[in-house]
Amino acid sequence: MEDQKRQDQASAEVQARIRTSFERQGLMGHLGARIAHIAPGRVHIVLPGRPEVTQQNGYFHAGATSAIADSAGGYAAFTLFPEDTSVLTVEYKINLLAPAVGDHIEAVGTVLKSGRTLTVCRLEVFGVRGGERSLVATGQQTLICVNARPE
């Protein structure tokens, strides 16, 4: 069980690299998003609900939903990249499945295939209310590993 728990967490060095990069993202700071979990090939980003991230009907705005999904996938890929590299999104597609409601939303980026240059991730966003999670968006993303350009 302890071995499984260790596998569910990225190394301290990778976590520090991810958090340092995330803290430099102006949009994530502006939205109030935070990293909730970092594992090899998997990152969770949480966005608390507040009026500034909603649309006119009170749902989380699709732009905020998409932004945290993009960052979750990007950082999931970045957990597997060499230390002296950077990550950039090449493309992503999001399907909004239901209105995003809850106390917060949580984006989960999961690496499906990591290559030397391109990496593909699955993106999922959940509305969370009182511990109950409901899938509100899903998507896929392609990222590029930029060599000799550390974050």
Mind listing the pLDDT tens digit for each residue in 69-99? 999 999 999 999 998 899 999 999 999 999 9
What would the CATH number be for the domain defined by 2-147?
A: 3.10.129.10
Q: What is the CA radius of gyration of the chain?
A: 15
- For range 122-133, the mean pLDDT: 96
The pLDDT score that the predictor gives to residue 143 is 98
Residue of 124, 62, 70, 118 whose CA lies nearest to 92: 70
- For the record, the structure tokens of 26 come out as 């102006």
Cβ atoms of residues 13 and 21 within 8 Å: no
In the chain, what are the domain boundaries? Answer: 2-147
Q: Residue with structure tokens 């999670």? A: 133
Cα separation, 66 vs 54, whole angstroms: 13
Say if residue 117's pLDDT is above 60: yes
∠ CA 53-20-147, nearest 5°, is 110
pLDDT digits (tens, 9 = 90+) for 18-51: 999 999 999 999 999 999 999 999 999 999 999 9
pTM of the model: 0.93
Mean predicted lDDT score pLDDT of the chain: 93
